[in-house]
């Protein structure tokens, strides 16, 4: 019997599907050729990125390293911690509205999140998109905990986390990394699913 903790995929037991479909949305893996589209849709938007854990993009190329990490993860050859991400498109029109993902954090814990262009907020798209990703992660036997966090001033994100099956876990004093906020709280409200 092999020890799965030695696998380059750990804590994932397999590479996830490259696409997911919901009633209204299609999720697909991003391509390097999507850099301009992603930049225009959400990574350069100051409202969309306000509470994100990564700095707002200044030029499209700012997203290249992340997309390369995602490609390496889907190929099963991570160049760092496993990180899987999907672009979110409106199924009917193909319009890109955001992204969601999940990645290795520590040991058997993974974390995840989502971002949407503000024009698509309040329509249930974030939960609809992220739910199949979370449900897939729950099928991975080595994953014992799925978590996500949000800034205290962004409770709508907590509502999304609850809709996909995570429950309130804790408020961390210094866990939040919010490079797009000036002098704001560094607290993070954490939600989690823990394997029973």
Distance in angstroms (rounded) separating the CA atoms of residues 71 and 124 = 28
Q: What is the CATH number of the domain that holds 98?
A: 3.40.630.30
Parent domain of 68: 4-194
Distance in angstroms (rounded) separating the CA atoms of residues 177 and 172 = 11
The pLDDT score that the predictor gives to residue 1 is 41
Nearest partner of 171 among 154, 157, 152, judged by Cα: 152
Distance in angstroms (rounded) separating the CA atoms of residues 24 and 117 = 16
State whether the Cα torsion 48-54-60-64 is positive or negative: negative
The pLDDT score that the predictor gives to residue 122 is 96
The pLDDT score that the predictor gives to residue 76 is 86
User: Tokens representing 105?
Assistant: 């954090």
Distance in angstroms (rounded) separating the CA atoms of residues 108 and 49 = 28
Nearest partner of 17 among 137, 174, 113, judged by Cα: 137
The pLDDT score that the predictor gives to residue 187 is 86
What total number of domains does the chain contain?
1
- For the whole model, what pTM was predicted? 0.93
Across the chain, which has 196 residues, the per-10-residue mean pLDDT values are 65 95 98 94 95 91 91 86 94 97 93 96 98 98 96 94 97 78 81 97
Distance in angstroms (rounded) separating the CA atoms of residues 157 and 136 = 20
Distance in angstroms (rounded) separating the CA atoms of residues 16 and 140 = 10
């Amino acid at each position: 019997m092999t020890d799965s903790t030695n696998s380059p995929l750990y804590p994932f037991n397999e590479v996830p599907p490259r696409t997911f479909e919901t009633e209204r949305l299609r999720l697909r893996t991003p391509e390097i050729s999507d850099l301009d589209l992603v930049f225009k849709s959400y990574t350069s938007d100051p409202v969309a990125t306000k509470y994100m854990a990564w700095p707002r993009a200044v030029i499209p190329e700012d997203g290249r390293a992340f997309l390369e990490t995602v490609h390496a993860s889907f190929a099963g050859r991570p160049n760092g911690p496993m990180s899987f991400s999907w672009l979110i498109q409106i199924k009917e029109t193909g319009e890109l509205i955001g992204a969601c993902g999940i990645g290795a954090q520590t040991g058997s814990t993974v974390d995840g999140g989502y971002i949407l262009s503000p024009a698509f907020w309040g329509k249930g798209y974030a939960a609809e998109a992220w739910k199949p990703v979370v449900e897939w992660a729950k099928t991975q036997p080595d994953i014992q905990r799925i978590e996500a966090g949000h800034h205290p001033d962004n409770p709508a994100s907590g509502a999304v986390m609850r809709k996909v099956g995570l429950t309130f876990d804790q408020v961390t004093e210094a866990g939040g990394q919010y490079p797009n906020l000036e002098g704001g709280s560094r607290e993070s409200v954490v939600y989690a699913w823990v394997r029973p």
